[in-house]
Structure 1
Amino acid sequence: MGKPQAHVVLFPLPAQGHMSPFLSLATRLHHYRPGLTITLVSTPHNINSIRSSLPPDSGLNLHSLPVYPVDHGLPAGAESTADLPVELYIIFFKAIESLHSAFDEFISSHVSNASNSAPLCIVSDYFCSWTVDIARKHKVIHATFITLSAFGGAVFFSLWLNHPHKLTERDPFPLPEYPEVLIHRSQVSQYMLASDGTDEGSQFFQRQLMFMNNTNAVMVNTVEEFEPLGLSMLRKTLKFPIWPISPPLAPVGQPSSSKSDEETEIMTFLDSRPPASVLYISFGSQYTIQPGQMMQLAQGLEGSGCAFIWVIRPPIGFDPKGEFKDVWLPHGFKHRIKPKHMGLLVHGWAPQLKILSHISTGAFLSHCGWNSILESMFYGVPIIAWPVCGEQFYNSMMVVELGMGIELARGVMDSSMPVKEKVEEVVELVMGSNAKGLEIRERAKECRDVMKKAWNEEGGSSMKSLLEFFKLINI
């Protein structure tokens, strides 16, 4: 008889920024170990969505765990952070935590039906670190996957654990575990600034940190060469193996690859422009900005004369999935940019990887979600940073430190309003033929080369981390 088949169970947080890295990780696991059984667990709506977009050869099994959002005071059908405003996220995280019994039953059934020598490993999102209790109960291996950057994760954990902004009037202030790192209050989300250690958010994240201390290893969604500081910070405070393992940029779990009329229009627009001449603008799958900020950004774009593709949704204070109104943009803006063939306003979803990989794309004005930064790095596209929430502020710090971008604005408060002239200045600096712009574009290309080398089978850093994971589960 052959060696018993190992089984890896993936448990991501139901949020686009977390699901995508897990799906890409599944792609990489299947590629290098096609005999491995891989199962992703999530809530019914998410499972149905993933199933509809999986290629037939994905090698990924799916298992649904029942969740009842209404029982937790959430809207019916709210099975992802995309269905909720930020202020309800903590309640949603706790609703996912209530899947403990259902997940325990699922693991129990697999342990009892499997050969005693068949390894089983749970790989959970940091936000689902409570799964380590189930792993210990059934004596199976547990690994935690941090879908954030290493630096962003280390700062995020320190803020929730210590609340250093409450301990000093200094601004910027140091982190207790990492005194060399200084954080400005403008780089801390409002909900975190209001926390004091006794609130539900603090208690949830402190609980996950406590659970994570019992995991066997941590995988981080990053590249070793990009994050010497962030990885050293995590290795200082987490006393188990930490493996940087940036997943491939596979379009698994995204909308169908068949072209819509809007996608055709986007690609036609890009095909018509010179190389590196188009600015791509997106605040991710669920973020937006204030009405006044939207107005200033539009005025600055028009004033710069730069061609752009802007994935746009209603501003803060309005239904993000509602109809977009022209009054949120300068009077006549849409009618002026169209005949000039200057820009496209895209409502809803856009094929981000196709846009970033296109020769005409010259820069990415991004909210600095970590997946977006990795995608920009992969294609060597410079970043104009506008972080709005969470660890995005610390990702922006990394972009500037790496030399592949410039921060335009920070946050969505009125005090962080980038005026029209500032938008024009930064767009020209990054997109223009000046010395600074050339330097940024060259650095972005260097980051692209480093990222691709990480998966070199003859010793790339991410490849080494993957092999260490395979050793952990004995395959």
Structure 2
Amino acid sequence: MAGKTVLLYPCPELGHINPMVQIAKALVRRGASVTLAVADPPDKGAVLADVIAGVAAACSSIGVRLLPIPSREDKAYSHPVMWIVDAVRLANPALRELMRSLPAVDALVVDMFCIDALDIATELAVPAYVFYPSAAGDLVIYLQVPYVASSAPSSFKDMGDTVLKFSGVPPVRALDMPDTMEDRERDVGRARIQHCSRMPEARGILVNSFEWLEARALEAIRGGHCLPTGRSAPEIYCVGPLVDGGKIGESGGRYECLEWLDSQPKQSVVFLCFGSRGTFSMAQLSEMARGIEDSGHRFLWAVRNPPGHRSKLAEVDLEPLLPEGFLERTKGRGLVLKNWAPQSEVLQHGAVGAFVTHCGWNSSLEAIMSGVPMVCWPLYAEQRLNKVHLVEEIKVGVVVEGYDGELVKADELEAKVRLVMESEEGKRLRERSATAKVMAADAVKDGGSSDLALAEFLNNLGTK
């Protein structure tokens, strides 16, 4: 039987394109013909431009088609997410023309932000699926959000510590909901709730997680607990963990920081890294430096310029960003990197014993696959929800208090680092993380739950 033809349509954002590339590679390994259609805004930033260029260079087995959209130079947006929403809306006509030009498309797989492309799939009679790149626990919440939000007395932003209860996940404070959903009266709030409400229209949802990791959340969806009575959920395919082994387009050379880790004792190093957009104020960087120094533990720390800094990304000057004498006092015990670290490779290194992270799902999965417990410091998007799942449900991390305020204090970071690295609770976290590592490997191996789910997805294409 001829292989299936699948068209993937990611959101034009680093954390969404990377996992979509990984699922593309997984589908190609199974004999599918895959095309990645990426919105190509003329006003894209340097990071997105590098990612788009890197995808084409790194994925010779995958067709990459850029979808041009009109210039929007004079248009202002109330929230950065609305820039993305507008980009994919403007790219939809080019997507329609692409789909018409292809000989056959067995499935269109869209990112949640590209949900309006479901209309194009219906118009062209192509089965449509959603790829959800984050936690199944987030998906559970998002499926229920349209109904919870409509019955709430006010917007989430006005509810503070009020506990929201969703089927299948631990209780969530209203202030831990994504900022895009805080106010259902804002354009961004309306857009995100509309995205959530349309997901069940898809024929199925592919999730970047695995059965063992989030069994309760998955049961809530499949058991019909996330949608109103009479409305059935789409088929759920858990196909993760799908993570990028390094920066897209990055050469596979040996990094100096890995050589530094080679000389450190096993599980002795605390790794601090906060994703492509994780930046902190000067005051917060100072508290972080004091906390990690006072902990007494070895560390590897990727530092970026503070928000609004005039310097380009490559021009990080560490001396004025960190407390006076910090680099000299911690020389040998710690290593500070400018801007970026080869995160996946670092987490896989045996010298790393803890990961201070923003809880982006790609980063969280890399830690889980490496068996490294996390100190959770969520910053934006769905990261506060991920923190809830990682700490309270999956039990592979602890949270720093104060992340939702002005500053996380030095003694708080010190305490949580010591907890993970020194205490009995930290030992339990390491044991749980080691189990999660084994189960993640089992999920993606031949015959594992995620491997079988991907096969089932392909087998179901073309059936009613």
Q: Same fold (TM over 0.5)?
A: yes
Residues 1:151 and 2:137 aligned together:
yes
User: 1 CA distance for matches of 2:79 and 2:269?
Assistant: 35
Q: Which residue of 1 aligns with 2:66?
A: 64
Letter in structure 1 aligned against 2:187: E
Identical residues among aligned pairs (%)? 27
Question: For 2:120 and 2:284, how far apart are their aligned partners in 1?
Answer: 46
Note if 1:224 corresponds to 2:214. Answer: no
SS at match of 1:30: helix
Aligned to 1:130, the other structure's residue is in SS state helix
SS in 1 for 2:68: coil
Structure 1 residues 410 and 101: CA distance shift in structure 2, 3 A? farther
Q: How does 1:281-300 map to 2 (within 5 A)?
A: 281-300=272-291
1:470 partner SS: helix
Quote the residue 1:38 is aligned against. Answer: 34
Check if 1:342 corresponds to 2:333.
yes
Displacement of 1:381 in angstroms is 0.6
Q: How does 1:421-436 map to 2 (within 5 A)?
A: 421-432=411-422, 434-436=423-425
8 A contact 2:180–2:381 mirrored in 1: no
Paired with 1:202 and 1:159, the residues of 2 have a C-alpha distance of: 11
State the shift of 1:211 in Å. 3.5
1:49 — aligned with what? 54
State yes or no: 1:135 paired with 2:127: no
Count of aligned pairs between the two proteins:
441
Amino acid at match of 1:405: G
Q: Which residue of 367, 377, 381 corresponds with 1:376?
A: 367
Q: Which residue of structure 2 aligns with residue 79 of structure 1? A: none
Separation of aligned partners in 2, 1:271 and 1:31: 33
**Aligned with residue 21 of structure 2, among 20, 23, 43:** 23
TM alignment of 1:312-331, pairs within 5 A: 312-318=303-309, 321-322=312-313, 323-325=315-317, 326-331=319-324
Structure 1 residue 431, shift from structure 2 partner: 1.3
Structure 2: distance between partners of 1:353 and 1:165: 43
Residue 350 of structure 1: how far off its partner (Å): 1.6
Query: 2:63 corresponds to which letter in structure 1?
Result: N
Check conservation: 2:19, 2:244, Cα contact below 8 A. Answer: no
- Mapping for residues 233-244 of structure 1, pairs under 5 Å: 233-235=220-222, 236=225, 237=227, 239-244=233-238
Measure the CA separation in 2 of the matches of 1:371 and 1:229. Answer: 21
* Residues 4 and 458, structure 2, Cα contact 8 Å, conserved in 1: no
1:94 equivalent among 74, 86, 91: 86
**Partner of 2:45 in structure 1?**
none
Is the contact made by 1:174 and 1:180 (CA closer than 8 Å) also made in structure 2? Answer: no
User: Is the 1:173–1:182 Cα contact (8 Å) retained in structure 2?
Assistant: no
Structure 2 vs 1, CA of residues 293 and 121 (structure 1 numbering), >3 Å: closer, same or farther? same
SS in 2 for 1:254: coil
In the alignment, is the contact (CA less than 8 A) between 1:53 and 1:252 conserved in 2?
Answer: no
User: Residue deviations 1:234-276, cap 9 Å, x none?
Assistant: 44326211111104444376242243xxx63201210110010
- TM-align CA RMSD: 2.6
Question: Is it true that 1:123 corresponds to 2:109 in the alignment?
Answer: yes
Cα distance, 1:288 vs structure 2: 1.7
1:264 equivalent in alignment to 2:255: yes
The one-letter amino acid paired with 1:19 is I
Quickly say closer, same or farther: Cα 1:333–1:86, change in 2 above 3 A.
farther
Superposed, 1:163-242 pairs within 5 Å as: 163=149, 164=152, 166=154, 172-175=161-164, 178=167, 181-193=170-182, 195=183, 197-235=184-222, 236=225, 237=227, 239-242=233-236
Residue in 1 that maps onto 2:44? none
Q: Which moved more, 1:24-33 or 1:41-50?
A: 41-50
TM-score w.r.t. length of structure 2: 0.87
